[in-house]
Amino acid sequence: MADQPGAPLVEHSRFIPETPSVEQLPRQESAEVFLEPSRETIPAQAETIDGHIDTLRSRLRKPKNQRPNAIPQVRDELTLRVEQIMEEGLQDAFSELSVVERQEFKLAGERAAMEIRKALRGGHVKIKKIFEIIVGWLKKLPGINRFYLMQEAKIKTDKIVSLGEYEKYTG
């Protein structure tokens, strides 16, 4: 075989297995059939997708572990003293409020007193933080002069800070 010109030097048939021709291969369906989902599976997939979306939406709507906003019914002596200092001199303005406004102002005052109590118990007292809490609470009163509001907040802050210092040394 090697003597003939154009003949291969090595017989390939011994080393390479014979591959079937295209006509001999079994017929396969086109790839389009596999890529295109059947009409029966589309609604099922849509239902599962909608279910997943609804599940995610419900998870987003659920409140995360939030602290309760309710004011505890049992108050310690420091909280009561802070509330007394905060309400000094506000009887006239408080009596002019409607019932709903009174309740809102009272709840806001209790929240402010709890925040101030936490600030006082925290060790280092930040006067500016206490002042901002009191100003925010007093701003809920309608028709109060801004300068009067700042003056009252300053007086109340000074009294609360002195109360905190007293509690720090005695208790």
Q: How far apart, in whole angstroms, are the C-alpha atoms of residue 111 and residue 69? A: 9
What's the pLDDT score for residue 51? 79
What's the pLDDT score for residue 100? 92
Give the distance, in angstroms, between the CA of residue 160 and the centroid of all CA atoms in the same chain.
32
pLDDT in tens, 100-142: 999 999 999 999 999 999 988 887 878 999 999 999 999 998 8
Per the listing, tokens 């509330």 go with 83
pLDDT in tens, 8-56: 555 555 555 566 565 665 565 554 545 555 555 555 555 778 877 888 7
**CB-count burial class (<10 Å; 0-12, 13-18, 19+) for 113:** buried
User: pTM of this prediction?
Assistant: 0.56
Mean of pLDDT values over 81-99: 90
Higher pLDDT, 167 or 160: 160
Mean of pLDDT values over 51-77: 70
Amino acid at 91: Q
What's the pLDDT score for residue 122? 81
Residue 17 is encoded by which pair of tokens? Answer: 């297995």
Mean of pLDDT values over 76-81: 89
Residue 76 has pLDDT above 70, yes or no: yes
